[in-house]
Structure 1
Amino acid sequence: MQAVRSALPIDVVVSDYVQLTNGGGGQLKGVCPFHDEKSASFYVNPSKSVFHCFGCQESGDTISFLMKIEHFSFAEAVERMAAQANITLRYEEGGYSQRGQRGERTRLVEAHKVAAAWYEEQLQSAEGEIGRTFLAERGFDAAAAAHFGVGYAPAGWEHLVRYLRGKGFADKEILLGGLASQGQRGGLIDRFRGRLVWPIRDTAGEVIGFGARRLREDDNGPKYLNTPETPIYKKSHVLYGIDLAKKEIAKSGRAVVVEGYTDVMACHLSGVTTAVATCGTAFAEDHIKIIRRLLMDTSQYRGETVFTFDGDAAGQKAALRAFEDDQKFAARTSIAITPGGMDPCDLRLAQGEEAVRELIANPVPLFEFALRSAVQRHRVDAAEGRAAALEEAAPIVARIKDPSIRHEYAVQLAGLLGILDEQFVVRRVGQIARWQRESPQQGRQQAPRRIEPQAVPTAAPQRVAYRLDARDPGQFVERELLKLAIQCPELVSPTFDQYAEDEFTAPPYAAVRRAIGQAGGVLHGCTAADFVTAVRDACEHDQVRSLVTELTVEPIRTRRKPDEIYAGEFLVNLRRASVKRRVDEVRAQLQRLGNRATAEQSGPVQQELWALQQYDDNLRTRGAAGL
């Protein structure tokens, strides 16, 4: 027993499950694997071969660590350590490795180890050619297959069962391990038949299950068939490739989560050796715990987890499911959306290994992806759409625990929506965050509260019905210009006729502008004796007609006789106000495009912004001569 303990230091065993760093005084520390925690309180003393967690109070030696984390019996823990240290055990009743005295788990692991080796041999057989062809078509040669231990399960009913029996395994062990199933006639039949097979290993590198891919069209089974739940295989506790990726994950502080076995192969062969995948189940909380331990994911240390999903609707849905678990990480979580619906395996085949590395090297933060997905479901070029998008996206930002990051994303959300008043969005997010913090249930209910569209600051004033306000400087300009157009058309002709209705932001004034146009415009008014009558007749209803009468009799607001200079000031002021609104709209459009926009997307918008700014400068310096 002492020989086993001495041959396998405790930090070597623990490092298969937890990233350990210097804890000072000869101690090592990491995130406790036995409870969730925000700071590393799990300590290992290599010289004493003991561990202790100051959070949950779990403690013990190497053997007790394995018993706790793997649910081993005492004998199974000793056998695991002996196997790793290449030590042959002598049992009390004499002899070596007596099957009857060995732990159940050890026997099941041995059966899987033997099965994995046999499957690899079958891949090289004549029948295994179909599997070799499948791999070759996806860019995997014999060396790649050997590196990942890929094998082939022959199409017969009991080839593996007979082989394992010949190696001394009982039917009960073969059935319990999920390597075979009960046939209709009572005998055992191979679980995997006529399929390509990937061995699934635990963090220590032991085979505990298999994933098998359908190869033949006449195979009516599922595309992928995995080992069922067994004493050694729990799909929610397993990540394919974790045995190959764990050291690099701990070293680099980054884990990459892909969707399938071939995606893991493609990533690793492309140099992304931190890639892992779930085995026939969605990425869930138990998978997070595995990665957190390897990342040393605490509130002090921030690693990164990158999810890759297809760019299609199903892939985006999967990404948003991953987002739901985001706050269980302290680490950054990002998403790499593969182009054209290609997974990493397809991407490697189509564009080469560099394309895979580029994909993983440039992910989008998962919060940003979730925000963009929420915003894209709405028409943010309209006030109602902006309000609805804010209603959906603000609670997403409010969930961010770090206040500084939450503020940054609130500002980013304002940009995506084209809302220039960033502080309005920041305050809204902060309000929802308080609701969620004070009463999570109430926060979920109140956060999506309806926001009236007019309450949302917009990139440009919206055309909504409201009372005229004589004290509004903008409305004063519009009203004075309309009075000039009706009373002294010659002072604003022909420039006034070039102004569109939407340059008058007050709907009643826009209606008057429309009536002037329908009456022939100010150019016609310069010579028409009945111009006012024509304008009144063109009005849509009595309210507009009454307003025209007001504008006709209301004195023009100047102490001197109205002249072209006075009229020119109002022509310039109205046009500059219109230009400013358009500048705000274009800036909001650039904000929505963001930094990731291509030159083709942002170029025309930036050009328009530049032209508008030049025009405004020209009006400011030259006045009416710049119109």
Structure 2
Amino acid sequence: MYYSDDLIEEVRAKNDIVDVISGYVKLQKKGSSYFGLCPFHNEKSPSFSVSRQKQMYYCFGCGAGGNVFTFIMEYENYTFLEALRYLAERAGVELPEQDESEESRKKAGVRSTLLEINKLAAQFYYAQLKDPRGEHALSYLKQRELSDETIRAFGLGYSGKSGKELYRYLKSKGYSDDILFKAGLIAFNEKSGPYDKFWNRVMFPIMDANSKVIGFGGRVMGDGQPKYLNSPETMIFDKSRNLYGLNRARTFRKPYFLLCEGYMDVISLHQAGFGNAVASLGTALTSGHASLIRRYVEEVYLTYDSDEAGTKAALRAAPILKEAGITARVIRMEPYKDPDEFIKNMGAEAFEERIGKARNGFMFGLEVLEKQYDMKTPEGKTEFMREAATRLTEFDEEIERNNYIEAVAGAYHVGYEDLRKLVGRMAVQKGLAKPVVRAKTASGREKENGIVKSQKILLTWLIEEETIFRQIEKYIKPSDFTGELYRTVAQLLYEQYEAGEVNPAKLMNHFTDEEEHREVAGLFHTKIKELSTAAEQEKALKETVMRVKSHSIEEATHNLEPADIQGLQRLMEDKRALQDLEKLHISVN
């Protein structure tokens, strides 16, 4: 669905960013901006800034930033279109639907209906739990030491024994058999006809990141099989891309998730105060799960069962998380089977201690591997170290690999150099040698970072002070900024100045990707070194402008084709402009 730039801007303008964010974050006015604790990372001192003038937010701690669309996208885990529709509804702006195809309208209608049905089913199951017919299910939950508040918070329920109760209820609401089958709540038997997919089970509503019910898990009462049953895949439920408890964990102020195996583990941990616990939905961890987790945290503590199956699951999960850029640590539950048992017997404080003692995922893998060898014999230990060295070759970056070599050498009392050489030999023998990713030279890195920082500082200055823009627009053009994103931002900013309306929040409407929003917001909030006098500020500004222009000329010279006469003429003009800049006095007043 395409919406015009004017309509997008109307929606943005009618949703004041301070008002919107105040609904999520407690803000306090300081000067011309508002500050609060960042909702996107754990912090004790407020570094989250919201500007009513700019209609933008920015966190000086984690770099999160953007306009009102960005905030809703990042906080609610919405796409740009979902954020637009949400804010349009909030502001009472009607979005046209006539441009949508019949197929897309039909698909959106089915999706909306499935969400309605699941919500009604969750309410029905909850009511059944409180009914006398659900007494044994409620008793089971009480025996598991769940409080009324926890049962209510997670919407736990019960599906009756008859196998027809939910079906009759949903039919009374006017839904067809076809749509109920698509919801995954009804099955069909030639002999008895339609019947409830879940019956005689404690029900666990599965919610997406925005707390919308998308499916269910059911734990059988008694000895029936299977013990746990999940909703089938539907238009709204993809078990490989959702996590149980994520809707609550994503707003919990911890920089990591506790990843569990089962629903009860998640619920027990939340009840004990560990609100950052999540679980995969009856399936092994996938790359889709890892990508979802990476949106919220960069570290995961695996709290899988302490049995052999749980250990294998942890060993499988660690490399998947690493591939997604997530650090994995492993919490051991011994002498108990899982977090639920551990919490009941040892309590929250003891679990917190286990978190502090969690093992690095790679080192945990070696501890498990170690049990396969007789470490008391030279032969056994040698074979183990060879396998450990082979695993160490999997680290592409030289610095990271060397750090792990050092850790392994210390843990198993071998020489660092001896182990490093063994890693090299195993890489060659096993055909695992990979090109080393070396860091750039210090001078090259500093130069590159210096140019990028200078361009960010200059864009921040330009958005803040029109007088500065008017003094340098003759010398610095959008094409002087390197990188497509920086050039695009500069071009849009220059166009706004020409139109007489500088509006950074409107400028951001040009971008729909969340990461682009974050980076663009950073361009307008670069920290500028505090300079005490106007003369110092003017000197710093002139040096920044000169650096940006000089680098632009260097890039143009390097890329100039010998036969490009027009390019040569532009280059000569730029060099003259640079000479003029050296004589220019730039005022910050």
TM range (shorter): 0.5 to 0.7
Q: Which amino acid aligns with 1:242?
A: L
Q: Which deviations, in whole Å up to 9, do the C-alpha atoms of 1:573-612 show, x marking residues without a partner?
A: xxxxxxxxxxxxxxxxxxxxxxxxxxxxxxxxxxxxxxxx
Superposition TM-score, scaled by structure 2 size: 0.59
Aligned to 1:226: 230
Q: Could you say if the C-alpha distance between residues 101 and 308 of structure 1 is closer, same or farther in structure 2, counting changes exceeding 3 Å?
A: closer
User: What is the identity, as a one-letter code, of the residue corresponding to 2:67?
Assistant: P
Q: CA deviation at 1:268?
A: 0.9
The equivalent of 1:46 in structure 2 is: 67
Matched, 1:410 2:405: yes
Q: Is the 8 A contact 1:386 1:417 kept in 2?
A: no
Q: What pairs up with 1:514-593 in 2 under 5 angstroms?
A: none
CA deviation string 1:66-103 (max 9, x = no partner): 8868xxxx8x88876678x597989999xxxxx98961
The structure 1 residue matched to 2:250, chosen from 228, 246, 250, is 246
Q: Does structure 2 retain, via aligned residues, the 8 Å contact 1:267–1:356?
A: no
Question: Which amino acid is 1:243 matched to?
Answer: N
Tell me the residue number matched to 2:180: 174
The aligned counterpart of 1:266 is 268
Query: Are the aligned partners of 1:310 and 1:339 in contact in 2 as well (CA < 8 Å)?
Result: no
What's 2:387 paired with?
A: 392
**What does residue range 26-425 of structure 1 map to in structure 2 within 5 Å?**
45-46=66-67, 49=69, 85=90, 103-185=109-191, 187-217=193-223, 219=224, 221-248=225-252, 251-295=253-297, 303-419=298-414, 421-425=415-419
* Partner residue in 2 for 1:455: none
Contact preservation (8 Å) 1:27, 1:46: yes
CA displacement at 1:359 relative to structure 2: 2.6
> For 1:109-146, what per-residue CA distance to the aligned partner results, in whole angstroms no more than 9, with x for missing partners?
01111111111111111121121122112111222111
Query: What is the alpha-carbon distance in structure 2 between the residues aligned to residue 182 and residue 138 of structure 1?
Result: 33
1:347 counterpart letter in structure 2: F
How many residue pairs end up in the alignment?
394
Partners of 1:275 and 1:304 lie apart in 2 by: 12
The one-letter code of the counterpart of 2:293 is I
Could you say what the CA RMSD is over the residues aligned between the two structures, in angstroms? 3.9
* Partner SS for 2:331: strand
Distance of aligned partners of 1:135 and 1:342 in 2 relative to their CA distance in 1, 3 Å threshold: same
Letter of the 1:222 partner, please give it: P
Stretches (4+) displaced over 4 A: 1-12, 18-30, 65-69, 76-83, 85-93, 99-102, 430-435
- Output one character per residue of 1:532-587: Cα deviation in whole Å (capped at 9) or x when no partner: xxxxxxxxxxxxxxxxxxxxxxxxxxxxxxxxxxxxxxxxxxxxxxxxxxxxxxxx
- Judged with a 3 Å threshold, the aligned counterparts in structure 2 of structure 1 residues 90 and 392 are, in CA distance, closer, same or farther, namely closer
Stretch of structure 1 that moved more, 317-326 or 224-233? 317-326
Distance 1:366 1:323 in 2: 6
Task: Indicate if the aligned counterparts of 1:80 and 1:106 stay in contact, CA closer than 8 A.
Answer: no
The offset of 1:107, in angstroms, is 0.7
Deviations 1:31-78 (Å, cap 9, x if unpaired)? xxxxxxxxx99x86415x479xxxxxxxxx979x98868xxxx8x888
Offset at residue 9 of structure 1 (A): 6.9
Structure 1 length as normaliser, TM-score?
0.56
Tell me the CA shift for residue 324 of structure 1: 2.8
1:399 deviates by: 2.0
Higher relative contact order at CA 8 Å, sep ≥6: structure 1 or structure 2?
2
Deviation at 1:325, TM superposition (A): 1.5
- The answer as to whether partners of 2:261 and 2:303 remain within 8 angstroms in 1 is yes
CA contact (8 A) 1:270 1:354 kept: no
Q: CA deviation at 1:169?
A: 2.0
Paired with 1:397 and 1:386, the residues of 2 have a C-alpha distance of 16
State the one-letter code of the partner of 1:422: Y
In structure 1, stretches of 5+ residues that fail to align are 31-39, 52-60, 94-98, 296-302, 441-627
User: Contact between 2:393 and 2:433, CA under 8 Å: does it hold in 1?
Assistant: no
Bigger Rg over Cα: 1
Structure 1 residue aligned with 2:432: 436
Distance 2:272 2:371 in 1: 33
Sequence identity percentage: 29
> Following TM superposition, by how much is the alpha carbon of 1:347 offset from its aligned partner in structure 2, in angstroms?
1.1
2:502 aligned partner: none
Q: Which residue type is aligned with residue 240 of structure 2?
A: S
- Cα distance, 1:269–1:67 mapped onto 2, change above 3 Å: closer
Counterpart amino acid of 2:329?
S
Q: Which amino acid is the alignment partner of residue 398 of structure 2?
A: P
Instruction: Give 1:168 shift.
Output: 2.5
Q: For 1:87 and 1:138, locate their aligned partners in 2 and report how far apart those are by CA, in whole Å.
A: 46
